[in-house]
């Protein structure tokens, strides 16, 4: 039986790329009772209301900075998918307090409201930028991850709210993605590349929807789920999608990494292999004495889950297959 059968699901940041895709995915499931979009963008909500005519879809204007509004929105909600965040790296470096108020304090508000309203499950949508962060956006996502994991302590041994995290890399099909940028720059005949060595993990948005659905049915609270992903060199992606264009190297940007990491060496020591994904078990879990996923395989020794590792890095010939183009 589906973990979503008869459930009311609320998505914070529900008008963004992830949110819209998740709404579409959930409404394709006849067993889902209700889907609620929670966001502060009333224009995008009105657009979605015209796009989706399913009567199970409702909209709630609000900001995750407003705990009182979250309390109202979470009334009789079973599951919260927390995707709301400020994400633009340069803008957040210039406006650090705004990043903290939304990405950290906002996440705390979501957690508090979920516990107070007895929401059964909360899944926080994180990013590879949260791993060994070098910019403020990544640092706020790292803090939000830690908050989400540790907040399982709030329920003690009698509460019902389970909170887990899913962490992944670049999303194919998202707004402002590299593929979208390449399509725009193709018209000029020149593509801009920050560094020829740069690599990134890739996952299609359709696969993320399936991943999130699966996690909601298996999560025990406190884990960080990491899908198994392949990586590609950015230059290979550009040359495959725009073979006639020139590539201009402009130098690495502030706050940008050459390679992204999904699991650190320290996390690898408590990571388990579930077949199609890895699970990072919480280092501290006073809320439960039982072992997480006792039958799962341990994470392979001497493996570093970084995008330039030969185990994950694919050649140019795999670009279109990975990007599903």
The Cα 259–Cα 32 span in angstroms is 39
Residues 23 and 52: their CA atoms lie apart, in Å, by: 9
- What burial letters (b/e) apply to 128-148, b meaning 16+ CB within 10 Å? bbbbebebbbbbbbbbbbebb
Conformation bin of residue 302: beta by default, left when phi > 0, alpha when psi is -120 to 50: left
pLDDT at 301: 87
Give the DSSP H/E element, type plus range, for residue 280.
Answer: strand 277-280
- pLDDT, one tens digit per residue, over 289-323 is 788 999 999 999 888 899 999 999 999 999 888 88
pLDDT at 102 over 90: yes
The pLDDT of residue 56 is 97
Each domain of the chain, given as residue ranges in start order, spans: 8-170+201-229+261-305
What does residue 53 show for φ and ψ, rounded to 5 degrees?
-105, 5
- Tens of pLDDT, residue by residue over 103-160, are 999 999 999 999 999 999 999 999 999 999 999 999 999 999 999 999 999 877 677 9
Instruction: Please report which helix (H) or strand (E) contains residue 47, including its range.
Output: helix 42-51
In degrees and rounded to multiples of 5, residue 235 shows phi and psi of -65, -40
Q: Whose CA is closest to 161, among 170, 152, 169?
A: 152
Transcribe 67-112 into DSSP letters. HHHHHHHTTT--EEEE------HHHHHH-HHHHIIIIIIHHHHHHH
Catalytic one of 7, 129, 141, 257: 129
Known catalytic residue at 129: yes
Regarding the domain with residue range 8-170+201-229+261-305, which homologous superfamily does it belong to in the CATH classification?
NAD(P)-binding Rossmann-like Domain (3.40.50.720)
Q: Taking phi first (over 0 means left), then psi (-120 to 50 degrees means alpha), and beta for anything else, what does residue 255 get?
A: left
Judge residue 314's burial from the number of C-beta atoms within 10 Å of its C-beta, 0-12 exposed, 13-18 middle, 19 or more buried.
Answer: middle
90 conformational bin, left if phi > 0, alpha if psi -120 to 50, beta if neither: alpha
pTM of the model: 0.95
Q: Which residue has the tokens 């903290």?
A: 100
Instruction: Decide: 221 and 162 in contact? Cβ < 8 Å.
Output: yes
Query: Residue 236: helix, strand or coil by DSSP?
Result: helix
């Amino acid at each position: 039986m589906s973990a979503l059968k008869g459930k009311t699901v609320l998505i914070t940041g529900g008008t963004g790329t992830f949110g819209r895709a998740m709404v579409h995915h959930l409404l394709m499931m006849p067993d889902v009772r209700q889907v609620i979009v929670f966001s502060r963008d009333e224009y995008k909500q009105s657009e979605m209301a015209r796009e989706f005519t399913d009567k199970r879809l409702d909209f709630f204007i609000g900001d995750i900075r407003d705990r009182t509004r979250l309390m109202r929105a979470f009334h009789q909600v079973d599951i919260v998918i927390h995707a709301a965040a400020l994400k633009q790296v340069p803008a957040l470096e210039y406006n650090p307090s705004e990043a903290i108020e939304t990405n950290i304090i906002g996440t705390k508000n979501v957690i508090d409201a979920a516990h107070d309203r007895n929401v059964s499950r909360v899944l926080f949508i994180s990013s590879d930028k949260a791993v060994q962060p070098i910019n403020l956006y990544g640092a706020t996502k790292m803090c939000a991850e830690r908050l989400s994991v540790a907040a399982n302590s709030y329920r003690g041994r009698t509460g019902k709210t389970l909170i887990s995290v899913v962490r992944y890399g670049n999303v194919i099909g998202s707004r402002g993605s590299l593929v979208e940028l390449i399509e725009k720059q193709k018209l000029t005949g020149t593509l801009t590349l920050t560094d020829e060595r740069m690599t990134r993990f890739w996952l299609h948005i359709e696969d993320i929807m399936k991943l999130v659905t699966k996690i909601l049915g298996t999560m025990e609270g406190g884990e960080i789920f990491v899908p198994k992903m392949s990586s590609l060199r950015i230059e290979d992606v550009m040359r495959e999608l725009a073979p006639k264009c020139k590539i201009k190297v402009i130098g690495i940007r502030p706050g940008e990494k050459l390679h992204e990491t999904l699991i650190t060496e320290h996390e690898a020591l408590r990571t388990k292999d579930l077949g199609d994904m890895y699970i990072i078990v919480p280092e501290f879990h006073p809320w439960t004495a039982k072992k997480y996923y006792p039958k799962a395989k341990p994470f392979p020794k001497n493996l570093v889950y970084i995008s330039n590792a030969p185990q994950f890095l694919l050649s140019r010939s795999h670009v279109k297959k990975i990007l599903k183009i």
